[in-house]
Amino acid sequence: MKSQYRVVVIGGGVVGASVLYHLAKFGWSDAVMLERRRLASGSSWHAAGGIHALNADPNMAALQAYTIDLLSEIEKESGQNIGLHMTGGLTLAGTPERWEWLQANYRIFQSIGIDDCELLSPEEAQRRCPIMSSDGILGAMWADREGYIDTTGTVQAYATAAKKRGAEYYEETKVEELIQTADGWQVVTDRGTITCEHVVNAAGLWAKQVGRMAGVELPVSPLKHHYLITDTVPEVAAADFEMPMTVDLEGFTYMRQDQKGVLVGIYEVDHEHWAMDGAPWNYGEELFQEQLDRIENELMLGFERYPAIQNAGIKTWVNGAFTFSPDGNPLVGPVPGKRGYWTACAVMAGFLQGGGVGKTLAEWMIHGEPEADAWPMDVARYGDFARNKRYIRETTGQFYSRRFVMTYPNEQLPAGRPLKMSPAHDAMTEAGCKWGVSWDLEVPLYFAPKGFEETPTLKRSNAFDIVAEECRTIREGVGLMDITGFSRFEVSGPNAEIWLNKVMASKLPGPGRAKLAPMLGENGRLKGDLTVLNWGDGTWWIMGSYYLRAWHMRWFDDHRIDGGTVRDLGEEVCGFAVVGPKSQAVVEKLAEQDISTLKFMGCGDYDIGLVRARVARMSVTGEKGYEINCRYGDHIALRRALLEAGASEGIRECGFNAMLSTRLEKSFGIWSAEFTQAYTPGMTGMDRWIDWSKDFIGKEAALAEREGNGPAQVQVTLEVDALDADSSGYEPVWAGDQRVGFVTSGGYGHYIGKSLAMALVDRDKAQPGTELSVHVVGVERPARVIAPSPYDPEGKAMRG
Phi then psi for residue 233, to 5 deg, are -105, 115
Please say whether the beta carbons of 205 and 281 come within 8 A.
Answer: no
Average the pLDDT over 432-443 and give the result.
Answer: 98
743, 755 Cβ separation under 8 angstroms: no
| Other CB atoms within 10 Å distance of the CB of residue 240 | 4
The two most distant CA atoms of the chain are separated, in Å, by 86
CA distance readout (Å), 743 to 57, 687, 716, 732:
14, 20, 9, 6
The answer to whether the beta carbons of residues 24 and 366 sit under 8 Å apart is no
pLDDT per position as a tens digit, 264-321: 999 999 999 999 999 999 998 889 999 999 999 999 999 999 999 999 999 999 999 9
Alpha-carbon 529 to chain mean position? 17
- Contact by Cβ (8 Å): 641, 651: no
Q: Into which CATH architecture does domain 674-799 fall?
A: Beta Barrel (2.40)
Q: Are strands 513-520 and 611-616 parallel, antiparallel or unpaired?
A: unpaired
Could you please state the CATH topology (level 3) that the domain comprising 4-367 is classified under. Answer: FAD/NAD(P)-binding domain (3.50.50)
Per-residue pLDDT tens over the stretch 93-109: 999 999 999 999 999 98
Closest CA to 255 of 90, 55, 44, 127: 90
**If you write DSSP's letter for every residue of 672-737 in order, what string do you get?**
TTTB-TTS-HHHHTGGGGB-TTS--TTHHHHHHHHHTT--SEEEEEEEE--SS----SS-EEEETT
Contact 511, 601 (CB under 8 A): no
Paired with 615 in beta bridges are 604, 628
pLDDT at 132 over 90: yes
Distances (CA, A) of 44 to 72, 404, 718: 19, 22, 46
Show the 3-state SS of 544-606.
EEHHHHHHHHHHHHHCCCCCCEEEECCCCEEEEEEECCCHHHHHHHHECCCHHHCCCCEEEEE
Q: In Å, how far from its chain's centre is CA 688?
A: 27
Whether the Cβ atoms of residue 120 and residue 137 lie closer than 8 Å to each other:
no
The H or E element spanning position 354 is helix 350-367
What's the pLDDT band for 52 if we cut at 50, 70, 90? Answer: confident
- In the chain, the amino acid numbered 800 is G
Residue 788 CA to residue 794 CA, distance in Å, equals: 10
Both ends of the chain: CA-CA distance in Å?
70
The C-alpha atoms of residue 171 and residue 177 are separated, in whole angstroms, by 17
Q: Is the pLDDT of residue 195 over 80?
A: yes
Lowest mean per-residue pLDDT among 43-57, 684-698, 701-715: 43-57
Pairing type for strands 31-34 and 168-170 reads parallel
C-beta separation of 645 from 652 below 8 A? no
Q: DSSP state, 329?
A: S
Whether the per-residue pLDDT at 113 is higher than 90: the answer is no
Separation CA 500–CA 514 (nearest Å): 13
The answer to whether 758 and 744 are in contact (CB under 8 A) is: yes
Q: Indicate if the pLDDT at residue 339 is higher than 80.
A: yes
Q: What is the pLDDT of residue 476?
A: 98
pLDDT tens readout for residues 597-610? 999 999 999 999 99
Query: CB-based contacts of 296: which residues, under 8 Å, 6+ apart?
Result: none
Give the mean model confidence (pLDDT) for residues 171-190: 97
Q: What is the mean pLDDT of residues 261-265?
A: 98
Give the domain ranges of the chain: 4-367, 674-799
Residues 546 and 672: their CA atoms lie apart, in Å, by: 12
- Report long-range pairs for 81-86 (Cβ below 8 Å, ≥24 apart): 81/150, 81/153, 82/149, 82/150, 82/153, 82/154, 82/157, 83/49, 83/148, 83/149, 83/150, 83/153, 83/154, 84/147, 84/149, 85/147, 85/148, 85/149, 85/242, 85/257, 86/144, 86/145, 86/146, 86/147
Buried b (16+ CB within 10 A) or exposed e, 646-675: beebebbbbbbbbbbbbbbbbbbbbbbbbb
Asked if residue 112 has pLDDT above 90, the reply is: no
CA–CA separation, 623 vs 625, rounded Å? 6
- CA count, 13 A, side-chain hemisphere, 298: 30
Sequence-distant (≥ 6) Cβ neighbours of residue 615 within 8 angstroms: 587, 595, 598, 603, 604, 605, 606, 608, 626, 627, 628, 629
**How far apart, in whole angstroms, are the C-alpha atoms of residue 13 and residue 8?**
14
DSSP secondary structure string, 424-490? THHHHHHTTEEEEEETTEEEEEEE--TT--PPP-SS--TTHHHHHHHHHHHHHS-EEEE-TTEEEEE
**303 near 133, Cβ under 8 Å?**
no
pLDDT at 57 over 80: no
What does DSSP assign to residue 64? H
CA dist list (Å): 500 to 512, 523, 554, 564, 566: 16, 18, 15, 9, 10
CA distances to 104, 108, 249, 488 from 97, rounded to whole Å, are 11, 16, 12, 40
What are the φ/ψ torsions at residue 774 (nearest 5 degrees)? -135, 140
Give the C-alpha distances (Å, rounded to integers) separating 303 from 12, 205, 310. 36, 31, 6
Helices (H) and strands (E) in the chain, counts: 20, 37
With H, G, I as helix, E, B as strand and everything else as coil, classify residue 418. coil
DSSP code string of 355-370? HHHHHHHHHHHHHSS-
Query: What's the CA gap between 680 and 686, in Å, rounded?
Result: 8
Percent of the chain at pLDDT > 70 equals 100
Higher pLDDT, 350 or 56: 350
The answer to whether residue 767 scores a pLDDT higher than 80 is yes
Q: How far apart are CA 707 and CA 32, in angstroms?
A: 42
Going by pLDDT thresholds of 50, 70 and 90, the confidence category of residue 54 is confident
Prediction pTM value: 0.96
Contact status, residue 377 vs residue 254, Cβ threshold 8 Å: no
Determine the pLDDT at residue 115. Answer: 85
- What's the pLDDT at 670? 97
